[in-house]
A and B are shown apart, each in its own frame.
Chain A
Amino acid sequence: DAGVTQSPTHLIKTRGQQVTLRCSPKSGHDTVSWYQQALGQGPQFIFQYYEEEERQRGNFPDRFSGHQFPNYSSELNVNALLLGDSALYLCASSRWEGKNTEAFFGQGTRLTVV
């Protein structure tokens, strides 16, 4: 089992550009959540996708958008990049099992905006 895989592992973008990050969930998982982890901070919830729809959203601007595909993989898009968007972006996948639901995290994508 490959677990949660994210790509790319690192990338550098220029302020104002757009970026797309990708996530493949753990086998058998149908829910994907995205988190932003700024340097020295805890992860912050961006949004969650289930059945190809955004189900929950954190306190992030509309510049952050996403998509989930029929195979449950997901993309995170960020438009009009700001220097403050530099962070580690983590993807977590899960499958609903009531109180035993567990989120499995990928290794993250390190985004640097210059």
Chain B
Amino acid sequence: AQSVTQLGSHVSVSEGALVLLRCNYSSSVPPYLFWYVQYPNQGLQLLLKYTSAATLVKGINGFEAEFKKSETSFHLTKPSAHMSDAAEYFCAVSESRGAQKLVFGQGTRLTINP
């Protein structure tokens, strides 16, 4: 069975600082990996996805993630945090091609300090 572990339930950074949210996965097959963002009282919005093409994936709002098979990781980064980035972030893995049945991590709450 596939699983996702997000290291750190809460990350706090200063505005303008680097954002790094960690995600490690477990999968018996080549994984399809996703990062979603959830703002308060909202659904999930896709930030980016890895589908076995380029290992460095660029997403919306300046976020990017790098797939590292040797480390079974898919960490999310953004060079300079903005106040509007404050939200809950979820890493997810799919058991099949595309975003069919998604297995999510526990989430990481990102707080931005002015």
User: Taking the complex as formed, is B106 at the interface, i.e. its CB lies under 8 A from any CB of chain A?
Assistant: yes
CA–CA, A99 to B45, complex, Å? 18
User: Taking the complex as formed, is B11 at the interface, i.e. its CB lies under 8 A from any CB of chain A?
Assistant: no
Contact among B43, B99, B101, B106 for A106, CB-based, below 8 A: B43
CA–CA, A50 to B103, complex, Å? 19
* Residue numbers in A under 8 Å from B97 (CB-CB): 98-99, 101
Q: Which of B13-21, B46-54, B69-77 touches A? A: B46-54
Mark contacts of A26-57 with chain B using CB atoms, 8 A cut-off: 1 yes-contact digit, 0 otherwise.
00000101010000111111001000000010
Q: Which of A14-22, A69-77, A78-86, A89-97 touches B? A: A89-97
The reply to whether A99 and B102 contact each other, CB–CB distance below 8 Å, is no
* Residue numbers in A under 8 Å from B106 (CB-CB): 40-42
Tally B residues with Cβ within 8 Å of A: 25
* Residue numbers in B under 8 Å from A94 (CB-CB): 98-100
The reply to whether B98 and A97 contact each other, CB–CB distance below 8 Å, is yes
Contact among A99, A107, A108 for B32, CB-based, below 8 A: A99
- 21 A-B pairs with CB atoms under 8 Å apart are A31-B100, A41-B107, A42-B90, A43-B44, A48-B100, A56-B101, A58-B101, A90-B43, A90-B44, A92-B102, A94-B99, A98-B98, A99-B97, A100-B51, A101-B97, A101-B98, A103-B100, A104-B46, A105-B36, A108-B42, A108-B43
- Residues of chain A whose beta carbon lies under 8 Å from any beta carbon of chain B: 4, 31, 33, 35, 40-45, 48, 56, 58, 90, 92, 94, 96-108
